[in-house]
Structure 1
Amino acid sequence: MGQLRTLLPYYKPYWRGLVAGMALVVVSNVFTIIGPFIVKLAIDGLSADLTRERIVQYALLLVGAALLAGAARYGMRELLNGISRRIETDLRNNLFLHLLRLPPQFYDRWRTGDLMSRATNDVQAVRQVAGPSIMYLVNTITIGSMALGLMIWISPRLTLIAMIPMVLMPPLVMWIGKKINVRFERIQEQFSEISNFAQENLAGIRIVKAYGREADRSGAFAGLNAEYRRRNMDLARIWGAFFPILTFMGGL
């Protein structure tokens, strides 16, 4: 939570867009919930005296709800993702200014690759938290609350039965989340190694050529990249299993 509090001041210049984006999240979910409810009304209204006009009315309502939900969803993504991009720019500028003010002793302790990793991959990760993560959090809370309320209104008993698999969701998400965090940190460490290796060899290119070490350095660089790819694939396997598992649990 301390890290999130550090990020809060960066939202201040964009608070109007943030509020508007969150409001659009709610609006999109309202119309998303309305769609199945319209289908319910249409099915419940099936009878021998059902007219063509009433069928067309239900169809138009369903299409209208889908269009409004899609428009609101597009707007929320444009606003919240756009704000996250601006926050990312502000973070990069502030980081650069901070690095300029640091004493030379700081650069004796920290490798160039570590600093490059923080200025690129780490800032991108913060941007994901600043925009998409906030959007998905509000979206999940909103649609979950509305769907749960509607389900309880329709059938409390059936809702209770349907919620049984959901008990397994929090520990499952926490367990997979820890594995993702560990793998992401390993990727960041390897990216730092690659950046530092590239910087050192480019800065000392004359020495590398003077001793004829081009092939050796190229092989070492290829090895670092192969390890970087392996770690990314390791993370991708976890991500690849994560969402199907969530979908399966939700489908139960």
Structure 2
Amino acid sequence: MKELKHLNKYFKKYGLKLLIGIFITIVARVFQLVMPSYVNKSIEVAENYLKNEIILTEAKSLLLEYILIIVGAALLSGFFTFLMRQTIINISRYIEYDLKNEVFDHYQSLSLNFYKKNRTGDLMNRISEDVNQVRLYGGPAIMYGIQTLTLFVCLVPLMFIKAPTLAMYALLPLPILSVLIYQISKIIHRRSTIVQEYLSTLSTFTQESFSGISVIKAYALEPKINHELETLALDGKTKSMALAKVNAWFFPLMILLIGISNIFVIYIGGQQYINGEIESIGIIAEFILYVNMLTWPVAVVGWVTSIVQRAEASQKRINQFLQERPSIVNTVTEETEIGGKIEFKNVTFTYEDTNIVALKNISFTINKGETVAILGKTGSGKSTILDLIARLYDIDSGEILIDDIPIKKLNLNSLRKSIGAVPQDAFLFSDSIKNNIKFGKQDSTDEEIIAVAKKAVVHENIMGFSKQYETVLGERGITLSGGQKQRISIARALIKEPKIYLFDDCLSAVDTETEEEILNQLKKESEDKTTLIVSHRVSSAKNADRVLVLDGGKLLQEGTHEELNSKDGYYKELYANQLSEKEK
């Protein structure tokens, strides 16, 4: 259970409530133990009456007293059992809540490399299905475990005090049961781990299928996807059935062994009564009740063992991610003021997951308030520069300075709060258009939202929707066109009013006229802001203060539009080609 030690901090947090729950559990079971002895006494009263040792009135009086005690004990046991569930099961829900928050907070702290290596479905399964398995350990397993322990601690000595020989035979099958449980639990642990890993695979497959449904339909891949899902489902059924078959052994074995205990009680107890070794037949009835009171706790031992094994397997999977350390660490606790000057000094960067060298010994300086366009072929390192400025990755060698301060010596939150980034693949949430724009500034007013939407040239499109700014988007903004998504993303960046704008080919899905209008608006908006525009179009770069041309991760050309267009090279050739295409 070493993996489950991670939960000890939560048990400590809710320690008082847990102790109260344990105390209530013990009280509930103690009241339950009252009933069998009074059943025995009731039978003794009947026997004494039949032997003419007591009169009818006295027998009735005693029976009424004992029945009231039995009913009262049963009611009190039921009441405390209710309180027990309300206490311990609630604690398990608190632990589930805290653990999910811990996992989610840790997910958010991890770097992009982590998300490149792990699939969304697996991440979701660990925070949902795995945490739920752990919750069962934090609640039902503890509750029933305490119940079982209390009954065994109180009941077994009581049975030996009342009739040692009968108790020995009644409890004889339990050691056999313990050995069987131990052997079966090892198999359950192994198969539980396999099932949990399979569930992650299934979650990943379904999540990707739903996200890529438009591609699946466009390529008529439904039969292929259905076949793959059927294969996965059959494989999952095999794994789950293998686990279910082992679990299925628990209850039949327990019922069988409890049945054997009852037979021993009746047979041995009957012989002892006939031989006069026990005075009343009521002791046999009492022991039958004791044995049957042990039936559920003993059965629960197997169930609790199964829960603990599943929880151990799930917590191990959770701990694997919790032990992941973010590669990007905020080393400065104080807030940092960001001006906007950016400098790269001999920067080299290699992507860890692919070993592709994206930038090779690159150097340039962008002054505060300057607008710089970055052009180049696909894979030349344009987007990488923007990612490094936002410190989504740390470089291999060289130095990145913001306002003449090394980027690692800046408060990471301050840096990212000062950046308004618009990625090429615009991501919108399944929420209203208004809230998607407000994502850049949570306390923005409706007037501010409309103003930035107009600057992003998307206001007219939004007003054309039936619910306008309250229109709820589909997942990832699927209900909008590519250009509309890009322009709403631009509005989201503008409303943030950052010190640095990073536009990563964010106008690729709009026509040239709309692009021109948006660029004019952006030029006005970013007059005193440092702006980097990554693009494949020269039209996005010609009004910039400077242009950087990249090729193969190296800085190929640098200068103004006029300077680069006046000399032979990649920029002049690109401008001529795009100009001729426009004229056609």
TM interval, shorter chain, is: over 0.9
Q: Distance in 1 between matches of 2:197 and 2:129?
A: 11
The answer (yes or no) to whether the contact 2:192–2:243 under 8 Å persists in 1 is: yes
CA distance in 2, matches of 1:134, 1:230: 30
Matches within 5 A, 1:166-205: 166-205=174-213
Q: Post-superposition shift, 1:18?
A: 0.8
Aligned to 1:210: 218
Which SS does the other structure have where 1:212 is aligned?
Answer: coil
Choose which of 134, 139, 153 in structure 1 pairs with 2:142: 134
Note the C-alpha offset of 1:30.
0.5
Deviation at 1:226, TM superposition (A): 3.5
- Structure 2 residue 208 is matched with structure 1 residue 235: no
Alignment partner for residue 111 of structure 1, among 94, 119, 122?
A: 119
State how far apart, in whole Å, the 2-side matches of 1:16 and 1:77 are: 15
Residue 81 of structure 1: aligned partner: 89
Cα deviation digits, residues 58-91 of structure 1 (max 9, x gap): 1111111111111111111111111101110111
Question: Partner of 1:60 in structure 2?
Answer: 68
Counterpart of 1:178, as a letter, is K
- Which residue of 2 is the match for residue 123 of structure 1? 131
**Partner Cα separation in structure 2 for residue 230 and residue 5 of structure 1:** 31
1:17-63 deviations in whole A, cap 9, x for unaligned? 21111011101111111110111111223322243221111111111
Residues 1:42 and 2:42 are matched in the alignment:
yes
Partner Cα distance (2:252, 2:84) in 1: 25
The aligned counterpart of 1:13 is 13
Q: Which amino acid aligns with 2:77?
A: A
Q: Distance in 2 between matches of 1:217 and 1:161?
A: 60
What is the Cα deviation at residue 197 of structure 1? 0.8
Which residue in the other structure is 1:245 paired with? Answer: 253
Structure 2 partner of 1:102: 110
| Other-structure match for 1:22 | 22
Question: Displacement, 1:233?
Answer: 3.5
The one of 216, 226, 230 equivalent to 2:234 is 226
| In structure 2, C-alpha distance between the alignment counterparts of 1:198 and 1:7, rounded to whole Å | 31
CA–CA distance in structure 2, aligned partners of residues 180 and 236 of structure 1: 9
Aligned-partner residue type, residue 158 of structure 2: L
Which runs of no fewer than 5 residues in structure 2 stay unpaired? 50-54, 262-584
How far has the Cα of 1:181 moved from its partner?
1.8
Q: Which of the two has higher C-alpha Rg?
A: 2
Equivalent residues of 2:121, 2:201 under 8 A apart:
yes
Change (3 A) 1:234 1:215: same
- 2:377 maps to what in 1? none
**How high is the TM-score relative to the length of structure 2?**
0.42
1:12 aligned partner, one-letter code: K
Bigger proportion of residues as strand: 2
Structure 1 residues 109-118 or 53-62, which shifts more? 109-118
Q: In the alignment, is the contact (CA less than 8 A) between 2:45 and 2:59 conserved in 1?
A: no
Length, aligned pairs only: 252
- Pick one of 158, 162, 165 that aligns with 1:157: 165
How many Å separate the matches in 1 of 2:64 and 2:234?
59
Q: CA contact under 8 A between 2:17 and 2:91: conserved in structure 1? A: yes
Post-superposition offset of 1:183: 2.4
SS of 1:220 mapped into structure 2: helix
CA distance in structure 2 between the aligned counterparts of 1:147 and 1:62, rounded to whole angstroms? 17
CA apart distance, 1:174: 1.0
Is 2:31 the partner of 1:31?
A: yes
The residue aligned with 2:457 is none
Q: Which letter does structure 2 place at the counterpart of 1:217?
A: I
Could you list the per-position Cα deviations for residues 195-245 of structure 1 after superposition, in whole angstroms to 9, with x for gaps in the alignment?
111122233333322321112112222332333344333333332331231
Helix, strand or coil for the counterpart of 1:216? helix
CA shift, 1:175, in A, is: 1.2
Q: Deviations over 1:148-203 (max 9, x none)?
A: 01101101222222232122122100111122222222221221111111122233
> Take 2:241 and 2:4, find their aligned partners in 1: how far apart are those partners?
28
Q: Which amino acid aligns with 1:6?
A: H
Within the candidate set 141, 144, 156, 2:152 is matched to 144
2:248 counterpart SS class: helix
Secondary structure of 1:45 counterpart: helix
Mapped to 1, the partners of 2:233 and 2:20 lie a distance apart of 42
The Cα shift of 1:132 comes to: 0.8
Deviation per residue, 1:65-120 (Å, 9 max, x gap): 11111111111111111110111011111100000000111122222222122111
**One-letter identity of the residue aligned with 1:234:** A
Paired letter, 1:135: M
Instruction: Report 1 or 2 for greater relative contact order, CA contacts < 8 Å, sequence distance ≥ 6.
Output: 1
Structure 1 counterpart SS, 2:249: helix
CA-based RMSD: 1.7
CA separation in 2, counterparts of 1:52 and 1:202? 72
Structure (1/2) with the larger helix percentage? 1
